[in-house]
């Protein structure tokens, strides 16, 4: 009986070690995926901001101060 309890304790210790290592691997995978997502998504946002700035600077979008559309008597 004592032998069985000692074997169970040994097995439980080994399982804890495996659980800790699997948690470590999962954390490592999450970090790698986060880095990849940042590397992919950040340039897309930068391109979007540049395109918006370019569109905002077009002459057709600026107010010219002319008299188009005003009523004259």
Task: Give domain limits for the chain.
Answer: 2-44
Give the tokens for residue 10: 């040994």
Tokens coding 2: 């004592």
H/E/C letters for each residue in the chain? CHHHHHHHHHHHHHHHHHHHHHHHHHHHHHHHHHHHHHHHHHHHHHHHHHHHHHHHCCHHHCCCCCCCCCCCC
Residue 55 contacts residue 61 (beta carbons within 8 Å): yes
Q: What is the pLDDT along the chain (73 residues), one digit of tens a residue?
A: 778 777 767 766 765 666 677 888 899 999 999 999 999 888 888 887 777 777 776 665 555 555 555 555 5
- Give the span between the Cα atoms of 38 and 2, in whole angstroms: 54
Model-level pTM? 0.45
């Amino acid at each position: 009986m004592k032998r069985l309890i000692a074997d169970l304790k040994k097995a439980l210790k080994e399982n804890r070690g495996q659980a800790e290592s699997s948690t470590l691997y999962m954390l490592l995978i999450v970090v790698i995926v986060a880095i990849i997502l940042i590397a992919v998504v950040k340039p897309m946002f930068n391109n979007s901001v540049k395109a918006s700035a370019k569109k905002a600077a077009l002459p057709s979008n600026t107010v010219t101060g002319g008299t188009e559309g005003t009523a004259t008597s």
